[in-house]
Amino acid sequence: MTKLSVNINKIATLRNSRGGNEPNVVRFAKDAQRFGAEGITIHPRPDERHIRYQDAYDLKSEVYTEYNIEGNPIAKFMDMVLEIKPTQVTLVPDAVDAITSNAGWDTIKHRDFLVETIKEFKNNGIRTSIFVDPVLKQIEGAKETGTDRIELYTEAYAHQYGFGNKDAIQPYFECAELANNLGLGVNAGHDLSLDNIRFFKENIPGLLEVSIGHALISESLYLGAENVIQMYLHKLK
Ligand SMILES: CC(=O)[C@@H](O)[C@H](O)COP(=O)(O)O
Ligand SMILES: NCC(=O)COP(=O)(O)O
């Protein structure tokens, strides 16, 4: 079974554009879960341009599905995650000024840092996942870090699928198969959408969770959030 985790960053982007508290991220998270979402994802960035650290705290008592917090484990982020204790933390190696995530970890170069960081989260009962490119040696490196799961960075797949290039799934298939064999759980995310999700799901063995934000919120403007979440759940069956 593949769980759908709804990334609500974009709700905060809209809210922040006017000040005030509309749309309300806690209300949206509650509604998304009521509509069937099996998790809520947030990715607070150091400049807090969308989800703010305070939102992460406000959501804690309202997320009764899986709470996934993504981000670069700088000190402020680590303190916040260790205090909130979400279901899962996903480590993403973003530069401070990144517009959006644009690369996975080099799990070989940053092995020692990842080992230490992951140990700290796991000692606090938080499941860990690390964002990686679909490269076999990075999956082998991920295994060495002690992480529970990987999150496959799907931007390249989504982009190529949009051009009709279905072969773009191949490195993801191979990496997922390797991860399964190594005992690593497999998550995926970035630019997944109603158009490309079914083919991805059908071809990735043991896909445990997808986190989807930008497309899902955009599609919801046209079709409504309840419809859209139901459509994803149907495609993920
Ligand atoms: C790791 C990942 O792919 C997502 O968390 C994505 O980066 C969302 O972040 P933004 O909403 O800031 O684009
Ligand atoms: N981890 C990926 C995520 O949470 C959402 O990414 P996107 O759908 O906004 O590209």
CA–CA separation, 156 vs 86, rounded Å?
28
Q: What is the pLDDT of residues 197-216, one digit of tens each?
A: 999 999 999 999 999 999 99
Q: Is 219 in the pocket of ligand 2 (CB under 6 A)?
A: no
User: Which of 68, 72, 101 is the pocket-test mutation for ligand 1 (most atoms within 8 Å of CB)?
Assistant: 101
CA–CA separation, 93 vs 95, rounded Å?
7
Mean pLDDT is lowest, of 4-8, 97-101, 109-113, 181-185, for 97-101
Q: Which numbered atom of ligand 2 lies nearest the CA of 212?
A: 8
Query: What's the pLDDT at 167?
Result: 98
Pairing of the two strands 3-7 and 39-42: parallel
User: What is the reported pTM?
Assistant: 0.97
Query: What's the pLDDT at 121?
Result: 98
Count of residues making up the chain: 237
Say if residue 97's pLDDT is above 90: no
HEC string of 25-81 equals: HHHHHHHHHHCCCCEEEECCCCCCCCCCHHHHHHHHCCCCCEEEEEECCCHHHHHHH
Query: What's the pLDDT at 50?
Result: 96
The amino acid sitting at 198 is R
Q: What is the pLDDT of residues 142-172, one digit of tens each?
A: 999 999 999 999 999 999 999 999 999 999 9
Q: Which two tokens stand for residue 74?
A: 């700088």
pLDDT band at 1 (very low <50, low <70, confident <90, very high): very high
Residues 224-231 have a mean pLDDT of 98
Q: Is 38 in the pocket of ligand 2 (CB under 6 A)?
A: no
Task: Specify whether the CB–CB gap between 209 and 66 falls below 8 A.
Answer: yes
**Which CATH class for the 3-235 domain?**
alpha beta
Task: Specify whether the CB–CB gap between 63 and 38 falls below 8 A.
Answer: no
Say if residue 132's pLDDT is above 90: yes
Percent of all residues in the chain with a pLDDT value above 90, rounded to a whole number: 97
Q: How far is the CA of 101 from the centre of ligand 2 (A)?
A: 9
Query: What's the pLDDT at 69?
Result: 98
Q: Could you tell me which of 4, 10, 24 has the C-alpha nearest to residue 219?
A: 10
Q: What is the pLDDT of residues 3-61, one digit of tens each?
A: 999 999 999 999 999 999 999 999 999 999 999 999 999 999 999 999 999 999 999 99
Percent of all residues in the chain with a pLDDT value above 70, rounded to a whole number: 100
Q: Binding site for 1-deoxy-D-xylulose 5-phosphate: which residues?
A: 45, 50, 100
Q: Indicate left, alpha or beta for 6 from its phi (over 0: left) and psi (-120 to 50: alpha).
A: beta
ipTM of the complex: 0.97
**Mean pLDDT in the chain?**
97
Query: What's the pLDDT at 64?
Result: 98
Residues 115-136 have a mean pLDDT of 98
Say if residue 96's pLDDT is above 90: no
